[in-house]
Structure 1
Amino acid sequence: MTPVSSNAPHGSSALRTVQVLGGGNAGSSAHVRSLAEGLVARGVRVTVCAPVEADRAYDFTGAGAEHVHVPRSSDPGSVAALRAVCADADLVHAHGLHASFRTVLALGGRTTPLVVTWHNRARAEGARAHLLRMLERRVVRTAAVVLGTSSDLVDRARRGGARDARLAAVGLPGRHRSPAHDTEGLRPKIRAELGTTGRPLLLAVGSLDRHRGYDVLLDAARAWRDLDPVPLVAIAGEGPLRPELQRRIEEEGLPVRLLGHREDVPELLAAADLALLTSSWESRPVLAQEALHARVPLVATRVGGIPDLVGDAAELVPYGAPHPLADTVVRLLADPGRREELRERGARQTATWPTEDETVAQVLSVYDELTQPRPLA
């Protein structure tokens, strides 16, 4: 087994690692891109296994990694493709449940160390939920180390039988941060485009899926129709609930716009008066991190890893409760002093989060534990 070396000396081979992504949500894909860049800079060889569209979006090859196209989990060829790539790896690191399970199948009992990072919790109901729990147990009992991005994910892995489960240090990649001075000039243009000149802009970001709580957000928006001026809720994201949400918006005359998929979320955020996060569960949501970095007051649900992530730098409301959400937004819009206080608290809170360098250092430390030869007793 090749020992970890931050800069492999001349004549010695570098540690060979494989990073495995499934479909790859924004958070895990950005994390793998950042991790690949940091590992390569420290002399580690990195191969990223992910669908080709993920490499187009996150440019793993531009980070110095080799990219190998591995189809999404629904493709029967994905396990065989992974097996071939992992054959000469010193260590494999899989991200997310589905990618991790396929990696377990691909390794097929080999002694290659497997590290798993859980960025989020898999969601399902009924028989599928039971199947996912079985997959989780198989993965955590096979992995040498499970890294969870929130304490409840770590606890979940331990309950599932993980030999070693730890809290992951996950820094927000620099590409997700847009300093205010970079985007402030675009604020009037964005607000004019959205029709929010002279009225508040409330921004939500995320796929149009059930767990995002957008039905609750639309319920809350009914209360905002009575404000003067009426705030506009802009939702950036695409997904299966679009027809249902659009129908409600039109039938109920709600001040909400579905923007579809957007590549300019940092600019949208800089133009917003408030950021809204209404999910049923999140670990370290990118929107929450981006909002605090951009000094945009955040209203979020008190679920999952969000309270630990934001501390006292956001207004937290119960999930599934439109009235507290509506009341909190109304109160914040009427209280510029409180909004400024949240901006200042957000700046202090972001200073406590791990940096990208600290994230890479933690992962390298784990790799070192698993690959360095141990002295004989």
Structure 2
Amino acid sequence: MSSSPAPVPAPAPAQPYGRPPLRTVQVLGGAGADSSAHVRSLTTGLAARGVRVTVCAPVEAEGEYDFTGAGAQFAPDAVSAMRAVCAGADVVHAHGVRAAARALLALRGRRVPLVVTWAGGGPGADGSLGRLGRLLERHVARAAAVVLGSSSAQVDLARARGARDVRLARHAVPAAPGGRAEAADPGKTRAELGAVGRPLVIAVGSLVPHRGYSLLLDAARAWRGLDPAPLVVIAGEGPMRAELAGRIEAEGLPVRLLGRRRDAARLLAAADVAVLPSRWEARSLLAQEALRAGVPLVATEVGGVPELIGEAGVLVPYGDPDALSAAVAALLADPARRRDLSDAGRAQAATWPSEDDTVAQILSVYDELTHRR
């Protein structure tokens, strides 16, 4: 009796010109949603093209974003572990200035090109912390082979810090897996949040000072007088939780802190208005998700936000709670305006690069750098 042949594994994608697979290390300096989602998307696209990817990140980021499930090897972001994986890399790509600083320590003495995505990069702290931050930015900018900025504001800042080669690279926001946000029942979501018979306003992001949540609470004081008063929900976690919770209770504000949520896209799809009150944003994940979902957006006119949303949202000055409050109240009172912004948001989102576009642009940078060597 003949035995059946052993299964033959699927071949890896062919490499151009018979070269060995490109080896990249992606370095994350934290578990921030914007950078982590971008690296997960980038890893998926690179691995599908035959690139060998290792992601160095906090362990909690691997648990949240499953980089290994996207086709990468995973290593913790300790410098000793990074040094070992960077030894065999053709290109190291750091996402953020702090990640880049750690990558430079791991690369010390090695001639491996470093690509830096200039995540963040807004106005820094005052005093000695601000000076140290600017020194770190200058060190990273000058050491990088290529700096990628997701907005013109980031490109300008990296160039001002001394970067030799700075390029605009607007990365795509990954689609919600399986369209779950679109398939969810908004009425059920609103009932779960306690927003039945009243408007729902949402903000998403870590509870840190630059997100502007103190400003949002200032604006929410005025909304107590609306009939019905909107419910404001903030999905995110961070060091400002106790301070914000204290204010909400002491001032009787119609605001709920939801903590870190894995279903932020589902919450957003149920909202009447999304709010982005930040002191600085480059290419805001919330803004991208809101416009793509057709949720009217009120955002501060900072960083890369105006360039990102164009005429598809309402912009207000940072630091002006009266302007923020009035803009949200006006939208809640005007369903036709909200419908117009919903349509405009989806149209604006259609102009942004796709995930394939993003991967192709970054892979072309890697190819260029490896051909220089």
Report the TM range for the smaller structure's normalisation. over 0.9
Aligned partner of residue 176 in structure 2, secondary structure: helix
Q: Deviations over 1:287-339 (max 9, x none)?
A: 11110111110000000000000000000101110111111111111111110
Aligned partner of residue 19 in structure 1, secondary structure: strand
Which range is displaced more, 251-260 or 280-289? Answer: 251-260
* Residue 32 of structure 1: how far off its partner (Å): 0.7
Out of 53, 56, 71, the position equivalent to 1:46 is 53
Question: In the alignment, is residue 69 of structure 1 matched against residue 76 of structure 2?
Answer: yes
Which residue matches 1:74?
A: none
CA distance in 1, matches of 2:352, 2:101: 29
CA distance in 1, matches of 2:190, 2:140: 46
Q: Deviations over 1:122-149 (max 9, x none)?
A: 6433211111111111111111100011
Question: In the alignment, is residue 284 of structure 1 matched against residue 291 of structure 2?
Answer: no
Displaced runs of 4 or more, over 6 A: none
CA distance in 2, matches of 1:99, 1:357: 24
Is this contact kept in 2: 1:20–1:99, CA < 8 A? yes
Which residue matches 2:225?
A: 226
- 1:150-189, aligned counterparts within 5 Å? 150-175=151-176, 178=179, 181-183=182-184, 185=185, 187-189=186-188
Which residue matches 2:40?
A: 33
Q: Deviations over 1:337-369 (max 9, x none)?
A: 110110111111001101000000000110111
Q: State how many pairs are aligned.
A: 361
CA distance in 2, matches of 1:173, 1:361: 15
Aligned partner of residue 18 in structure 1, secondary structure: strand
Question: In the alignment, is residue 350 of structure 1 matched against residue 349 of structure 2?
Answer: yes
CA distance in 2, matches of 1:155, 1:315: 24
Question: In the alignment, is residue 58 of structure 1 matched against residue 86 of structure 2?
Answer: no
Structure 1 residues 217, 176: CA separation in 2 closer, same or farther (over 3 Å shift)?
farther
Structure ranking higher on relative contact order (CA contacts 8 Å, 6+ apart): 1
Aligned partner of residue 120 in structure 1, secondary structure: coil
Question: In the alignment, is residue 315 of structure 1 matched against residue 322 of structure 2?
Answer: no
* Residue 180 of structure 1: how far off its partner (Å): 6.0
Which residue matches 2:3?
A: none
State the percentage of identical aligned residues.
63
Which range is displaced more, 169-178 or 278-287? Answer: 169-178
The one-letter amino acid paired with 1:56 is G
CA distance in 1, matches of 2:201, 2:372: 54
Structure 1 residues 343, 180: CA separation in 2 closer, same or farther (over 3 Å shift)?
farther
- 1:130-209, aligned counterparts within 5 Å? 130-175=131-176, 178=179, 181-183=182-184, 185=185, 187-209=186-208
* Residue 150 of structure 1: how far off its partner (Å): 1.2
Structure 1 residues 225, 298: CA separation in 2 closer, same or farther (over 3 Å shift)?
same
Which residue matches 2:9?
A: none
CA distance in 1, matches of 2:103, 2:299: 34
* Residue 8 of structure 1: how far off its partner (Å): 1.3
Is this contact kept in 2: 1:220–1:322, CA < 8 A? yes
CA distance in 2, matches of 1:169, 1:38: 16
Structure 1 residues 62, 95: CA separation in 2 closer, same or farther (over 3 Å shift)?
same
Is this contact kept in 2: 1:178–1:266, CA < 8 A? no
The one-letter amino acid paired with 1:149 is S
Is this contact kept in 1: 2:25–2:55, CA < 8 A? yes
Root-mean-square deviation over aligned CA pairs: 1.8
The one-letter amino acid paired with 2:106 is A
Q: Unpaired runs of 5+ in structure 2? A: 1-11
TM-score, L = length of structure 1: 0.92
Q: Deviations over 1:262-310 (max 9, x none)?
A: 1111111111110011000001111111101111100000000000000
TM-score, L = length of structure 2: 0.93
Which range is displaced more, 143-152 or 103-112? Answer: 103-112
